[in-house]
Each structure stands twice: as structure tokens, then as C-alpha cells.
Amino acid sequence: MKRVFIFCLVFVGLISCNSKKNSPLRIAAAANLRYALDELVDTFEISSGVPCEVVISSSGKLTAQIESGAPFDIFLSADMAYPNYLYEKGIVKSKPEKYATGALVLWGGVNRISGLNDLLKEEYQPIAIANPETAPYGKAAFEVLKSLNSEEYWVGKLVYGESISQVNQFLISGAVSVGFTSKSVIFSDSALLKSSWISIPDSLYSKVDQGFVILNKRPDQKENADIFGEFLLSKQAKDILRRYGYTTEM
Amino acid sequence: MDWSPFILTFKLACITTLLLGLISIPVAYWLAYGKSKFRTITEAILGMPLVLPPTVIGFYLLLAFGNQSLLGGWLNNTLGLHLAFSFSGLVIGSMIYSFPFMVYPLVSGFRNIPLSFRESGRVLGKSELNIFYHIILPNSKQALLTAAILSFAHTIGEFGVVLMIGGNIPNETRVASIAIYDYVESLNYSMANRYSLFLLGVTFFILLSVYFVNRKRNG
């Protein structure tokens, strides 16, 4: 028995030895950015020499975590509303800035769809959208649907993902045949998502302006977060974002 | 392949199991032999993590640990402890989450020791602490092992609580289950598969070797 206790003590001692290295810049980003962000971060790390780590989730979840004090340094949202909310509540001091505008696409899987009106046919239902209450792309998708038919018509004909990521999984697994996702997703490694999508006229939904905000949760990372913020607004970053289907201001 | 989620997972499981063992042994002793009428209600409270969805536990822990709560704010301001989104927070969350898996096997193990064992210790004039250390514990090895394995395994398999209070931070709170979830979310199914298979293999091997040793010892 004694030996077991001694072993336990030594063991705990050993695994608690955890030398904290220079912690990297922590970027919290919305799910739709996942693919573009890989390249953005690689480019930024090379040009600035600042190591980064990325935490991806839905904008709403990240906002809730930031409110509870999550140690992130910069937050890249899928809309302007969440960063503005943090700013207005006084949780962040610096003003949110817009870095890109995202586009919505309709993904048609194997049943190639010819146009938006196909959505009214029963064979394509249910349609997957992200939760309009919390996901900016879900809100945009619901606006498109409402332009096709009344809100009541769609009751029971939609399935909701908690974010764009879950909608993508519904589509890839074949659980649903059509769904609204962000254009950036078709630049993922998944070959299936690369095919069979149609773009949606941007007159049908309000623009998905995406903003970032510097959090200053860890003062030693403030400077690096500022540099990353500047980088996001640089021509270099905008070129990358455009290649992933976003539009940016010149 | 990035090994840090696995190292973190096993570190979390080891620390949780050890700390939980230290707390649970006295609690289980009290539940098994105590006379207090609060034992029933305590047992019911301790069993609640079995029933409640992990997201509920995680949600309340997040509220409790967050900067805006009384407890979280106090810990933060006076002790400089950030429990939300930190490894120490995960340890506390896991301990609450795995509590019944440690306590229940111990309680039933202690209760199964024949009364005559303890009585003979008393007749020989041993103190209760002595009886516990030299008679009860050595005779509960089986229960101790089961309790430790169950808590260890349960902590490895933990997801909902960690997702809520951890925040998916690399090298801090991104444990294996979260890393797999993250790969699935990013549609990187091959990586998700590789991580899952590795976890499957390791856990199977741990359980197999423990039960093998156990069987051998029992003859």
C-alpha cells in the first residue's frame, strides 16, 4: 500500500512539471473561416515571426466564452453583431473592424439542382440551414428561403445545424440533399463539397459582414494581436480572403 | 500527427483519478460505515452526475467559474485562479463528473468486508485508523482498482463538460475527444479517424492489461 502511495506522489510530481513556454497568439475564429485561416495564419507567421494557435467554434459560442473570460487574444466573428455586442457591453475596449464579407451558397449534393426554385420541390426537402438565431449564415439562408415562400411554408421542411460546420456534415454524410453553407467551405479539402453548388444573388439576403475585435485579455499578447489585426486589413490578407470566396474592400 | 491532445488527456485522467481517489476514500468510508442520517441524501447528490447531461454540469461550472460570477470573480481577484478555460478547471470539472464512478465501487467494496474482520481488529485493540489502513484497504484492492479504472476511463471519454468549460485551447484544454470533434467539424475525416483509432487502441490495451493482471492475481 505504501509503495502505491509513494508511486502516486512521484507520478503526480512528474506530470505537474510543466514548463510554460512562450505562449502563442491565440486566435478565436468563426467556423466558416476555418479554411482561409490556415493560409492566413501560415502567411502571418512567416512574415511576422509570431507563433499562433487557432480555436474554432461558432461565433455565438465564442462570444459566450469571451464573456466568461476565455483567454483569447483576437476574435474573428462571422458577423458584426457579436463583436459589437462585446464592445457595447464594455468587455472589449477596441472597436470592432470589418475584414471581409462572406457569401452564401446553395449546395446540391448528388441531386444537382438547377435553381433556387427547385427548393420548393418536395424531393429536395428537408433543406439544411444553420440555426438562424445564432449563426449569421443561417440568418442569411432563412432570408433567401423567405423570398421564395412564406415563413409558414418552411415549417417542418428545414433541418438546423448549430453552425455552418454541422450543416456541412449533414451534406457530406448525405443526411440531407441540399443545404445552405458559406462559400468558403467549397475550398475545403473535401472533394464532395467542391462540386455541385450554386451561388445566390446577394440581393436575396443581407450582407454577411464579418468583423474582428482585439480582446486584450492577456496584456503580453496585445501587441501581437494588434499586428495580426493590421495584417487582416492588409492587401496580402485580402488577396487570400478573396481566393476563399470572400469579398473585401479595396 | 500532433500528440499533445493525447498527452493532455492522459495527464487529465491521471491527475483526476489520483485526486478523486484521495477525496473519495474518506467519503466512501463515511458512506459505508457512518451513522449519520445525511448519508442517503449525500449518496443521492453524489450520484447526480450519472443522470444529468454533461452539458448541464458544464454549463453550471462555466457560470460558476466565469469572471462574472461571485465564485469565479473571487477566485480570480483574490487567488489569481482562472478556472474557466484552464487545465485546473478541467481537473475540477472531471472530478465532479467522475465522482460517482469512484465513490460507488468503493462504498460497495467497503460494505462487502465481513464485520468480523473489523471486529477482530477492535478486539486486538487497534485504532479505527489502524483498522482502516491495515484491514479495510488491503481487503478492498479489487474495489480500489475498479474505482480507479472506471474514473480513469470515464475521464478519457469525457466530452460535454470539457467542451463547455475548456474552450478548445491547444496544449491547455484541447483533449483528445475535443480534438476529434474539431477534426470532424473541419471535415478532416481522415485525421478524426486516425485519432479515434489510436484512442480506441490505447484504451482497449489499458483495460485489457488491468483485467489481465486482476485475473492473474485472483488465480
DSSP code at position A247: B
Question: Residue B122 corresponds to which cell in the numbers above?
Answer: 477492535
Mark yes or no for CB contact A12/B15 under 8 Å. Answer: yes
Residue A38 contacts B, CB cutoff 8 Å: no
CA distances from A23 to A168, A232, B163 (A): 32, 21, 21
Crossing angle of helices B176-185 and B4-33, rounded to 10°: 130
The tens digit of pLDDT for each residue in A173-203 reads 888 888 999 988 888 766 666 677 888 988 9
- A50 with A174, same domain? no
Residue A91 contacts B, CB cutoff 8 Å: no
Confidence at residue A117, expressed as pLDDT on a 0 to 100 scale: 84
- A94 with A108, same domain? no
Which structural domain, as residue segments, surrounds residue A143?
Answer: 104-199
* Chain-centre distance for alpha carbon B27: 14
Starting from the edge strand earliest in sequence, which strands make up the sheet with A97-102, in order?
A: A52-57, A25-30, A74-76, A208-214, A97-102
CATH of the domain at A90: 3.40.190.10
- Residues paired with A130 in a beta bridge: A161
**Average pLDDT in the B128-144 region?**
90
CA distances from B68 to B37, B55, B162 (A): 37, 20, 20
Domain ranges for chain B: 4-178
Burial class (CB in 10 A: 0-12, 13-18, 19+), A244: buried
- A186 with A213, same domain? no
Question: How much is the ipTM here?
Answer: 0.74
Question: Which residues, 6 or more positions from B208, have their beta carbon under 8 angstroms from its beta carbon?
Answer: none
Report whether pLDDT(A100) > 90.
Answer: yes
CA distances from B50 to B29, B97, B98 (A): 21, 8, 8
In a domain, A18, yes or no: no
Chain B residue with the nearest C-alpha to that of A36? B186
Q: Are the CB atoms for A74 and A215 separated by under 8 Å? A: yes
Task: Encode burial over B168-192: b for 16+ CB neighbours within 10 A, e otherwise.
Answer: bbbbbbbbbbbbbbbbbbbbbeebb
| Rounded Cα–Cα distance for residues B4 and B7 (Å) | 5
**Average pLDDT in the B154-180 region?**
89
- A194 with A221, same domain? no
**Choice among A142-151, B25-34, B206-215 with the minimum mean pLDDT:** B206-215
Q: What does DSSP say about strands A52-57 and A25-30: parallel, antiparallel, or unpaired?
A: parallel
Q: Are the CB atoms for A55 and B169 separated by under 8 Å? A: yes
- A109 with A194, same domain? yes
Q: Greatest CA separation found in chain A? A: 75
Domains in chain A, number:
2
Confidence at residue A13, expressed as pLDDT on a 0 to 100 scale: 61
What is the band of A219 on the pLDDT scale with cuts at 50, 70, 90? confident
**Superfamily of segment(s) B4-178:** MetI-like (1.10.3720.10)
Task: Compare CB distances from B182 to A8, A56, A193 and report the shortest one's residue.
Answer: A56
CB atoms within 10 A of CB A220: 9
- A113 with A48, same domain? no
In a domain, A150, yes or no: yes
Put simply, the chain A residues between 117 and 176 with a CB less than 8 A from any chain B CB are 165-166, 168-169, 172
What are the DSSP calls for A162-206, one per residue?
SSHHHHHHHHHHTSSSEEEEEGGGGGSS-HHHHSSEEE--TTSS-
| Rounded Cα–Cα distance for residues A67 and B95 (Å) | 25
Question: Which residues of chain B lie closer than 8 angstroms to A69, CB-CB?
Answer: 66-68, 72, 76, 82, 84-85
In a domain, A51, yes or no: yes
Confidence at residue A232, expressed as pLDDT on a 0 to 100 scale: 94
In a domain, A15, yes or no: no
